Amino acid sequence: MMIDKVAAVRKLNNERARLGQWLNSVSMMNRPLDPEKQIKADAEFRLTYDRYMKANADYNTLFASLTTDELERLTRSPLDDMLAKCDPNAPLPEEREWVDAPAVGREII
């Protein structure tokens, strides 16, 4: 079974960003005063930090192994991928309410 390395790199990047945000949000001011709770909070921080470092290392390893084509796919947005799959000659839907409706906000037409 072949993995999609581009999807894996995107997933790892999201994971390390999420973990990094959590680590950045933890500050000394938010630390519990109760020693038992502080020990638990410290353990959770260390565990999350280890997960962040592993995700970061996995990301760097996988990113370094990408081919030129895979790097090009990685830099393209999902919208570009969806537009590439669209048929520009497809007929428009019969329902036009959303097209013919008047502006309801600050749309620039």
- Distance, CA of 106 to CA of 57 (rounded, Å): 45
109 residues of the chain, pLDDT tens digit each:
557 888 889 899 999 999 988 888 776 556 667 888 888 888 888 899 999 999 999 999 999 998 998 888 888 777 877 888 888 888 877 777 877 788 777 766 6
> Could you give the count of Cα atoms lying within 13 Å of 18 in the half-sphere of its Cβ?
8
Picking from 10, 21, 24, the residue whose alpha carbon sits closest to that of residue 73 is 10
Q: Model pTM?
A: 0.59
For the chain, the structural domain boundaries read 1-14+34-71
